[in-house]
Amino acid sequence: MASFAARIAAPPVAADEVVARLRAMLPPLELLRIVEMEEAARLSSLSVDTLVREHSDKVLRLSARRNGMRVAHALMLNDSL
């Protein structure tokens, strides 16, 4: 994993590049699939609490007790891709 200083100095990755990389990895229907927060945390390498706290716009309410997130959103939050 790159150091923090190297990640700051690196130019930002364009959204089109991220989308192209995700489309190459998975079929479009798989990217739209909604997974539970534990799986989203595994895919994004962030904790469930961090996902809810910092990316609540991407969290979907599945029921009164369950939340989820689209696979594409979780993968976009992963720095190692």
Per-residue tens of pLDDT for the chain, all 81 residues = 556 565 555 566 666 777 777 778 788 888 899 999 999 999 999 999 999 999 999 999 999 999 999 999 998 888 765
Tokens of 13: 């990755």
- What confidence score (pLDDT) does residue 9 get? 57
Spacing of C-alpha 29 from chain mean position = 16
Q: What is the pTM of this model?
A: 0.70
Tokens of 3: 């150091």
- What confidence score (pLDDT) does residue 70 get? 95
